[in-house]
Structure 1
């Protein structure tokens, strides 16, 4: 096609139709590259055809059923059943292993979270054991109910109420969600792991407002490992 003919067709909107597909088709954006800030971007799950057989489509999939069961076991404790938090301590502390899951949409946000020093005495970066004992400085597993937000020694924090025999000392042990400087990508870049809490669910300080805002009082936090 000569240039004069193409110009005439372009004015009528027909010129695009005769261009090669490689010119007219825009490539989709690469949505996989996201800088880590202590949280993963909001996830939307791929259709079944795009999933790898045998690979869980959600990083917390193995614990999600247990968490749902806890909602039913402690049904009287939860008026809010739209969102839950799952702390998957099967993973190393350098992983995004604290997931706030929207049970309506199936979407989730994932964050870094520290475990207690009593659960990892050698500071390996892996939670070795749980404990509910006062003075253990360990993480406790089980179902928690999120409580009030207050300001204490760590700044803003959220109280947690242990609902199981495995974590019913949470309030007396002052186990809460709070921000800590030893949680973040700089810590991982330097040491390959996070620092340790005294049993609290410590998150990156700049992510704390988002975590507290998404959870709010009266929702389930389920901590476990598989």
Structure 2
């Protein structure tokens, strides 16, 4: 005898199977829709990164000593060095005398042209350049017997021992100082150019037109300067 419950069970099984299949189809669709909504949602706006400061371009450092030598004077000195390049001047260092400054200030600047470093020295000017002894250079002269300082480019020459001890001869390279050798305009040491004089009187004594520096500083200057280099003196 055939069991009448079999069709019922079969139909139930089919319905259960169909429901499972429908669920399997619906669930991925729901998950896909959910993922789609998440993807389509706008992401929160990120905080913009602060702009980095623009670093200015670093230009090649000019050959100068800006802490001690005024730019106008430095340009004049470099132009003189170029102008007299045919005289065999060495270009590693030179001395620049700023006669625009008072004698009580270190105004002879020995500049290393390779890295711009410098050392400054006190230096006196001539009596004829400051007749009233004010401590300030008033005028230049290239005339014999004027006892005045002269301006322009000088070539440092040989050392000798004279009445001021060890000294260095100078050759004037410009029309404003071409009598320097005849006038015996040299670099030498002097008691009136020592730092103590500047501290006690506020100025140095005066030379006869020579570049007189302190007695204790002379050896250091000569060691750094040497022959074959330029001294440029001016009031710019």
Instruction: Verify same fold: TM over 0.5.
Output: yes
Match of 1:122 in 2: 132
Match of 2:104 in 1: 94
**Alignment RMSD:** 1.3
Partners of 2:110 and 2:88 lie apart in 1 by: 16
Partners of 1:217 and 1:164 lie apart in 2 by: 18
Match of 1:59 in 2: 68
Aligned to 1:180, which of 176, 190, 199?
190
Q: Highest CA radius of gyration, 1 or 2?
A: 2
- Taking structure 1 as the reference length, the TM-score comes to 0.74
2:182 maps to 1:139: no
Match of 1:76 in 2: 86
2:98 maps to 1:106: no
Secondary structure of the 2:224 match is helix
Partners of 1:129 and 1:79 lie apart in 2 by: 27
Deviations 1:41-84 (A, max 9, x none): xxxxxxx9xxxxxxx93221331111111111111113411001
Partners of 2:89 and 2:189 lie apart in 1 by: 26
- Using a 3 Å threshold, how does the CA distance of structure 1 residues 91 and 79 change in structure 2: closer, same or farther? closer
Match of 2:159 in 1: 149
Match of 1:196 in 2: 206
Which structure carries more helix by proportion? Answer: 2
Partners of 2:215 and 2:88 lie apart in 1 by: 27
Where structure 1 has 5 or more consecutive residues not aligned to the other structure, the ranges are 1-47, 49-55
Match of 1:10 in 2: none
Secondary structure of the 1:182 match is helix
Partners of 2:116 and 2:200 lie apart in 1 by: 34
| Structure 1 residue ranges (4+ consecutive) displaced by more than 3 angstroms after TM superposition | none
Total equivalences in the alignment: 172
Aligned pairs for 1:44-55 within 5 A: none
2:208 maps to 1:213: no
- Using a 3 Å threshold, how does the CA distance of structure 1 residues 200 and 79 change in structure 2: closer, same or farther? closer
Partners of 2:199 and 2:97 lie apart in 1 by: 22
Where structure 2 has 5 or more consecutive residues not aligned to the other structure, the ranges are 1-57, 59-64
